[in-house]
A and B are shown apart, each in its own frame.
Chain A
Amino acid sequence: MRAFFFYFVISMLFLSCNKDKTTFTPIPYAINIPSHFPEMEIPQDNPMTEEGIELGRFLFYEIKLSGDNTMSCSSCHLPEYGFAENTSFSTGIDGISGNRNAMPLFNLGWEDFFFWDGRRNTLEGQILGPVPNPIEMHQEWKEATNKLNADVNYRNMFYRAFGEEGIDSIKVSKAIAQFLRTIISSNSKFDVMYKYENSLPLSPSENEMLLTVEAEEWAGYDLFKSLNGADCFHCHNGPLMRVKKFSNNGLDGSFSDLGRALVTNDPNDEGKFKVPSLRNIELTAPYMHDGRFNTLDEVIEHYSSGIHISSTIDPLIEFAGQGGVQLDAQEKFLIKKFLLTLTDTVFINNPNFKDPFN
């Protein structure tokens, strides 16, 4: 009898450890939009909550989402590289490489299309792609969610985030999207320069940073914006440092990757790719959709003298006929000085964006 009682107590303790025991009391998350940024549109069917963001952060770093439990989203999107990767192409769990450079992940709440070719027009939709992709995480969503469902902690976290039992790919994508929308980069030296030049209020720490802006960085910024200088700002302007468009920026005379045209089937879109933000450009090498340039110097040289004309080249590459904007050595130096002001160390060191498993 005593033995029976002992086993009964032990059994109850064991069971209680695995019991789903939680409540649904979501705390709305008030996202802090930088003063010089536009408002962020949050999808009505995926409001941000503390619980959803926490879950999304775990899922972003969760290796169970890959077929052999070795890769997570963060494997190709590392914080120290602006949530990009320092190789031209990422390698999936089967050792297969893709053919496009992993894009950095920040300020995604302001994007209207995703991937280099813009084949997804919601962040949630973008997130659904890499898990079943055979050259990336290579796992059917059903298997991935079964793994998550076997973990009581995830069952509880999903319940706390969504208020209903059951884990599916839609909930996974919504949670990761909530987390990604919190990854905002807005604390670079450029941000202080942008605010200062437009008479926007600066915080005490921003005023301190303003004092560190060098004359060469200001000169580089002027050159960056100059229509007769580097002429960069046609495609990289505003606080987000990009415009929403697809562009052929003169990388090739003929195309091995058709880019946007693979989505639209329009020959006028051949060789066009999404214009990326230049924020954190120092961290996100290699550059371009195929990671062909390893350094900023190579990128600057491309726009200076390496432009290739083709049928779909962007008319905004106005000096294409002469191979580029023809910068001299001093101008290249100044442009690079300015580009380095776009690095946001606050963002990459934010503990809220780091791996929760470590």
Chain B
Amino acid sequence: MIRFIFILLTCSFFIASCKKEGCTDSQAENYNPNANEDDGSCTYASDLLQINVNPKFGAQNFYLDSAFETSEGYFVKFTDIKFYISELKNGNDVLCDVALYDLRQTQHNLTSIPGDYSKYGSLFGEIGIDSVINHSDPSAFPNDSPLNISNAGLMHWGWNPGYIFISIEGKVDTLATGNNFNHNISFHVGTDQFLQSFGFDNLIWIPTDDGYKLDWTLDLQAFLNNSQSAIDLKNEFLTHSGSGQMILAEKVKNNFLIALTQ
């Protein structure tokens, strides 16, 4: 009798020990090497996905407040470059609802967000803000939202016109002396009609210490020199997308899209 009980207990022990539930994926944060049956509990560390937009002026490195010569022979200093990107996604996989690029405040970074880079071999989105959100209460967005009035600041015109989608400001020396920057430029493109889509395929994410990154480029020389609609800073220096300024606003919108590349 004693021998029978012993054999029964031993067999039970072995049977129980053969089935150990847990996370069986060695790539998971909570991988359990002793588990032999996956119970669905695996958790994975998110990579930090960064998208940087690196400005340049043709082949030159770009810096705010530095002078660059235009094709007309003027000298231009850009003092601010800001723009909104929204609904950045690949199919149904949304990477980022909205991001505000502010070269002076956040340098080249457009957004940094946890995620799985493998989902984003392509990215499509809007330059600007969808009309529903564009006319919402700017005080009602969370404090960390780039749409909150505290963060949007002068990128928000008001509830009716909404947000400025693209803001490029600077000064031009049209006398080409190199030290007579007294001609202001202010390109403010917004309102619903200037929302535009953009996107990139075949994205190559570059590994970083804590995730992956994309490096996009914004070429300010291409922005000014687009052969289809070049901007002459001497005569085209001010638009707020209002009446009488729509042609230049359209140029800014179109040229910006051409200047932004991966």
| Contact surface of A with B, Cβ cutoff 8 Å | 36-39, 41, 110, 197-198, 200, 225, 227-228, 233-235, 237-240, 243-245, 268, 309, 311, 313, 315-318, 320-321
User: B145 → chain A, closest Cβ, in Å?
Assistant: 10
CA distance A231 to B64 in the complex (A): 25
Interface members, chain B 131-188 (any A CB < 8 Å): 137-143, 148-150, 153-154, 156-159, 169-171, 181-186
A317's contact among B140, B158, B183, B184, by CB below 8 Å, is which?
B184
Check A233 against B158 for contact (C-beta < 8 Å).
yes
Q: Would A239 and B139 be within 8 Å (CB), given that A38-B150, A110-B150, A245-B154 are in contact?
A: yes
Which of A37, A313, A316 has the most B CB atoms < 10 Å from its CB?
A316
Q: Return the chain B residue nearest A309 by Cβ.
A: B182
CA distance A315 to B168 in the complex (A): 10
A-side contacts of B140, CB under 8 Å: 38
> How many A-B contacts at CB < 8 Å in the complex?
74
21 A/B residue pairs, CB under 8 Å, sorted by A = A36-B139, A38-B138, A38-B139, A38-B150, A39-B142, A39-B143, A41-B143, A198-B137, A198-B159, A238-B153, A238-B156, A239-B139, A268-B79, A313-B182, A315-B80, A315-B169, A315-B184, A315-B185, A318-B238, A320-B182, A321-B184
Q: Would A38 and B148 be within 8 Å (CB), given that A313-B184, A316-B154 are in contact?
A: yes
B-side contacts of A313, CB under 8 Å: 182, 184
Check A38 against B238 for contact (C-beta < 8 Å).
no
Q: Apart from A38-B149, A39-B142, list 4 A-B contacts with CB within 8 A.
A: A36-B139, A37-B139, A228-B242, A315-B170
B-side contacts of A239, CB under 8 Å: 139, 149
Q: B56: CB under 8 A from chain A?
A: no
Check A237 against B154 for contact (C-beta < 8 Å).
yes
User: B147 → chain A, closest Cβ, in Å?
Assistant: 10
Q: Return the chain B residue nearest A267 by Cβ.
A: B65
Q: Interface residue count for B (Cβ, 8 Å)? A: 32
Q: B240: CB under 8 A from chain A?
A: yes
Q: Would A200 and B137 be within 8 Å (CB), given that A38-B149, A237-B154 are in contact?
A: yes
Check B184 against A311 for contact (C-beta < 8 Å).
no
A-side contacts of B240, CB under 8 Å: 227
Check A316 against B149 for contact (C-beta < 8 Å).
no
User: A31 → chain B, closest Cβ, in Å?
Assistant: 14
Check B153 against A243 for contact (C-beta < 8 Å).
yes
> What 10 pairs between A and B have smallest CB-CB spacing?
A243-B153, A315-B169, A315-B184, A38-B139, A243-B154, A268-B65, A238-B149, A198-B159, A227-B240, A309-B182
User: B189 → chain A, closest Cβ, in Å?
Assistant: 13
User: A252 → chain B, closest Cβ, in Å?
Assistant: 14
A-side contacts of B158, CB under 8 Å: 225, 233, 237
